[in-house]
Structure 1
Amino acid sequence: MDVWEGDFVYVTGPMQDKIGTVRDVDYFCKIRPSKYERVVAKVDTSLYGEFSPIEHLWVTFQRNSIEKDKMRLWFLSPLSDGPCVSNSDMVPFSLFNLDGFPISSIRAERGEGYYEEDRVVYLSIDKGEGYAIVQGSEYYEVTFIYEDEEIKTIVCNCYCEGHCKHEYAVLLQLQDLVADWAVNFDENYPKQEYFAAIDKTVAWNMNVSRRQKEIIRLTEDSYEGLIIYED
């Protein structure tokens, strides 16, 4: 693959779980393959579309704007473990009544702390299939099914047995976004059956601050929304 100075990449070896920045590219060098750390992925930092700022997130209903396969590389190496699949049946419960979610009170309290600390850094729903990334001691992936205001299943790839604080944080964040009048989820989601949100700080550091052209426009004077134009 072609890489350039400033690109974000992942490599093999001891640093495979860390995102790195290309400092220099030399196409005329001699290497010993046994010592060479190979670049395995270049991160796609492109970002465009219409976004609504809601709390610490930018929200969009435009498919392919910040779809999960691209956004996963903003947080996790392609060599890291992927999401988990649950082998146990779960009784569906209402998103707006978490009393039906089988989680201990201690884990729920910790999950509420994660939610209040804005640790849900990415969240999307694509035709009912939900995916989220939560920042803990490392980044964890949460997958879930959301249909008719119910959570059909939810699982996290952390090492916790049973349901965890990361899942609870995602549920609380999803509650807020679905209910927020500015998101207008019930009207906007059915059009594309797609919804996604990315942490503002992450988006700014990975993309917006690196842009050189005038491609960002606030849609309202009071920072009600913004549009990022594709190059």
Structure 2
Amino acid sequence: MESIQTDAICLPIPDMYLAEVRFDNARETGTFIVEHMELYEGDLVYVTGPMQEKVGTVIDVTYHCKIRPSKYERVVAKIDTDLYGEFIPLEHLWVTFDRDCMDKDKMRLWFLSPLTDGECMDSCGFIPFALHNLDNFKISDIRAERGESYYEEHRVVYICLDKGKGYAIVQGSEYYEVTFTYIDDKIHDILCNCYCEGHCKHEYAVLLQLQDLLGDWAVNFDENYAKQEYFAAIDKTVAWNMSISRKYGKIIKLTEESYGGFIVYED
């Protein structure tokens, strides 16, 4: 733990203290207990209670005070908004083959509270099919058409593949999680945690996005993926707003010139 310097003594940050958190969308603030976590003004967090699905911003911390634990909800996670590593710009995405850059557990918190249900389980049988031939994917034409629209509207905001195990987040009426397995050019399973029975538009959008990424010469997938058996891609606007704009305390406009890298433009 870091320490707090005062005029008289240097006090360690306690294991339990209070943080005031503002929720931008709801325009509400609240005070929450923080345990065994270092928080500072500007950090993004998730909490328990009525605001558990909202991202909050820490606006103040009180390290040394009297606390009645039963009177407060708690901070349950801090969002790591830093991005480090090498990126390949590809249309609306930044792509990386750096395993430590955008791993699933870190990126999930950009979109979903750790208190949400998470991935689903599937007890139905699945027949593997080649990714390049989606005609063998058992989905209705209407759902496939809607999934194609989702893909074209860039609603697959995050996708990764780690030693054949895939994970994606699709923006619909809320954020949905899609898991899949891709080995030897075949999809061996795919499942979304939405409420749709059978295969859905979110899954179809992910398959189209995966097709696009694996087939694009700009990322040289076959050679780069073989080195670490990992890749991830994030929507540029999402990455910009989470990792850059919030860090500078304002919304920074994303221009075509900035698509090639992290470039801060003054208003």
1:90 aligned onto 2:156: no
> When you count strand as a share of all residues, which structure comes out higher?
2
Q: 1:60 aligns with which of 86, 96, 99?
A: 96
Q: 2:53 aligns with which of 17, 20, 27?
A: 17
Q: How does 1:55-204 map to 2 (within 5 A)?
A: 55-204=91-240
Report SS of the residue matched to 2:225. Answer: helix
Q: 1:36 aligns with which of 45, 48, 72?
A: 72
For 1:46, give the aligned amino acid.
D
Give the Å deviation of 1:200. Answer: 0.7
CA distance in 1 between counterparts of 2:50 and 2:203 reads 29
CA distance in 2 between counterparts of 1:84 and 1:62 reads 27
CA distance in 2 between counterparts of 1:100 and 1:35 reads 55
Q: Is the 8 A contact 2:180 2:191 kept in 1?
A: yes
Percent of residue pairs bearing the same amino acid type: 74
The CA deviation string for residues 113-153 of structure 1, in whole angstroms up to 9 with x for no partner, is: 11111100000000000000000111100000001111010
TM-score by length of structure 2 reads 0.78
Q: CA 1:11–1:42 in 2, change beyond 3 Å: closer, same or farther?
A: same
Give the Å deviation of 1:35. Answer: 3.2
Q: Is the 8 A contact 2:236 2:259 kept in 1?
A: no
CA distance in 1 between counterparts of 2:192 and 2:198 reads 9
Consecutive unaligned residues in structure 2, runs of 5 or more: 1-36, 249-256
The CA deviation string for residues 186-224 of structure 1, in whole angstroms up to 9 with x for no partner, is: 111111100100111111111123557xxxxxxxxx778
Q: Is the 8 A contact 1:51 1:227 kept in 2?
A: no
CA distance in 2 between counterparts of 1:30 and 1:113 reads 54
Report SS of the residue matched to 1:111. Answer: helix
Q: Give the corresponding residue for 1:3.
A: 39
Name the Cα RMSD after superposition. Answer: 1.7
Q: Is the 8 A contact 1:6 1:21 kept in 2?
A: yes
Q: Is the 8 A contact 1:123 1:197 kept in 2?
A: yes
Q: Highest Rg: 1 or 2? A: 2
Q: CA 1:6–1:224 in 2, change beyond 3 Å: closer, same or farther?
A: closer
Give the Å deviation of 1:226. Answer: 3.9
Q: Is the 8 A contact 2:48 2:75 kept in 1?
A: yes
Report SS of the residue matched to 1:158. Answer: coil
CA distance in 2 between counterparts of 1:174 and 1:72 reads 18
CA distance in 2 between counterparts of 1:76 and 1:151 reads 25
Consecutive unaligned residues in structure 1, runs of 5 or more: 213-221
Q: CA 1:23–1:81 in 2, change beyond 3 Å: closer, same or farther?
A: same
The count of aligned residue pairs is 219
Give the Å deviation of 1:33. Answer: 2.9
Report SS of the residue matched to 1:74. Answer: helix
The CA deviation string for residues 74-132 of structure 1, in whole angstroms up to 9 with x for no partner, is: 10000001111211121111111100000011111111111111100000000000000
TM-score by length of structure 1 reads 0.90
Q: Is the 8 A contact 1:111 1:165 kept in 2?
A: yes
The CA deviation string for residues 136-184 of structure 1, in whole angstroms up to 9 with x for no partner, is: 1111000000011110100001111110000000001111111111011
Q: CA 1:157–1:3 in 2, change beyond 3 Å: closer, same or farther?
A: same
Q: Is the 8 A contact 1:133 1:141 kept in 2?
A: yes
CA distance in 1 between counterparts of 2:236 and 2:203 reads 21
1:209 aligned onto 2:235: no
Flag the structure with more relative contact order, 1 or 2, with Cα contacts below 8 A and sequence separation at least 6.
1
